[in-house]
């Protein structure tokens, strides 16, 4: 049995589906039953509850050979660091109480430090908690910036005719598709145990600038002249808050953009193991375009 927190999310759902397809028993943990129904239909056990409730998590983890963990973010919380720590500490209590011996944590590039990484600092703190556990094998996967994050630009492209963010135009950064993270997670969970405490960087297929990203998107959606506009940090924060994102969460995301711009999220060493196959060109043609077309 493998228990998966965030089983309805990008990585969690894909990992759950792959594990079920391989004949693995899975407990799919999430807050909302309707979002788990497609996984239940494929054979998953649905565990509906609050990820901050250590007693609930303990019951969900009991008897599991391994757990997959994430630290999610609610966009409207008043103190995002405190929220992340509450989730992280509940996971630690549940691991200890349930006796789980294998933990796969979906961490992030930048989790090597809490300095100048914005929202990723909360993930770094959870790595420290997990690595301090005695008698538990922990593998921290550190994927880079998700290609799916570009979905956030769809409204900007449709309403203003631009792509833009606070990421500098000339910063080269890796990007990864969530399906590639799920593939690695699935392989690791099907080949237990991963012994001791370790991390694995996941860096996508290559590095991209935001100019390249915008050109690829523009060509695919019939807007070859689509411009990229570099926002100030203040404008980025204001834009996030316009969408109902709390000031604390907005500040944390702006902090992540600052970290990207100074290279804090580009510490991983690219090699055969850390390079994943999906290109941004493939992602845009096969996934982004459909999301763009479906957005009214």
Contact 158, 217 (CB under 8 A): no
Q: Domain coordinates of the chain in residue numbers?
A: 2-147+176-202, 207-294
244, with CB counted inside 10 A (0-12, 13-18, 19+), is exposed
Element holding 62 (H helix, E strand): none
The tens place of each residue's pLDDT in the chain, 296 residues long, gives 999 999 999 999 999 999 999 999 999 999 889 999 999 999 999 999 999 999 999 999 999 999 999 998 889 999 999 999 999 999 999 999 999 999 999 999 999 999 999 999 999 999 999 999 999 999 999 999 999 999 999 999 999 999 999 999 999 999 999 999 999 999 999 998 888 999 999 999 999 999 999 999 999 999 999 999 999 999 999 999 998 999 999 999 999 999 999 998 888 899 999 999 999 999 999 999 999 999 86
Residues 6+ apart with CB under 8 A from 287: 147, 148, 177
Q: Taking Cα atoms as reference points, which of 105, 122, 124 lies closest to residue 113?
A: 124
* Fold of the domain spanning 2-147+176-202: Rossmann fold (3.40.50)
Residue 231, SS3? coil
Longest Cα–Cα distance in the chain: 56
Phi, psi of 90 (to 5 degrees): -65, -40
Q: Taking Cα atoms as reference points, which of 223, 251, 216, 248 lies closest to residue 237?
A: 251
What confidence score (pLDDT) does residue 16 get? Answer: 97
Phi, psi of 174 (to 5 degrees): -75, 155
Phi, psi of 116 (to 5 degrees): 55, 45
Per the confidence metrics, is the pTM higher than 0.85? yes
Residue 116, SS3? coil
């Amino acid at each position: 049995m493998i228990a998966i927190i965030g089983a309805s999310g990008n990585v969690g759902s894909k990992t759950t589906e792959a594990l079920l397809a391989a004949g693995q028993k899975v407990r799919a943990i999430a807050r909302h039953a309707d979002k788990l129904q497609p996984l239940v239909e494929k054979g998953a056990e649905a565990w509906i509850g609050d990820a901050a409730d250590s007693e609930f998590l303990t019951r969900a983890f009991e008897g599991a050979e391994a757990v997959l963990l994430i630290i999610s973010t609610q966009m409207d919380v008043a103190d995002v660091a405190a929220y992340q720590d509450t989730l992280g500490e509940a996971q630690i209590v549940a691991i200890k109480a349930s006796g789980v011996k294998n933990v796969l944590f979906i961490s992030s590039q930048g989790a090597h430090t809490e300095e100048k990484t914005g929202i990723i600092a909360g993930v770094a703190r959870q790595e420290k908690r997990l690595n301090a556990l005695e008698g538990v094998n922990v593998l921290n996967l550190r994927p880079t910036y998700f290609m799916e994050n570009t979905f956030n630009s769809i409204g900007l492209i449709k309403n203003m005719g631009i792509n833009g963010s606070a990421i500098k135009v000339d910063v080269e950064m890796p990007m990864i598709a969530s399906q590639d993270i799920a593939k690695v997670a699935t392989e690791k969970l099907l080949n237990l145990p991963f012994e001791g405490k370790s991390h694995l960087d996941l860096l996508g297929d290559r590095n991209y600038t935001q100019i390249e990203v915008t050109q690829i998107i523009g060509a695919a959606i019939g807007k070859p002249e689509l411009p990229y506009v570099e926002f100030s940090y203040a404008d980025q924060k204001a834009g996030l808050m316009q969408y109902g994102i709390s000031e604390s969460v907005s500040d944390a995301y702006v902090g992540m953009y600052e970290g990207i711009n100074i290279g804090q999220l580009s510490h991983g060493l690219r090699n055969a193991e850390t390079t994943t196959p999906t290109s941004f060109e493939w992602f845009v043609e096969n996934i982004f375009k459909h999301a763009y077309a479906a957005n009214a």
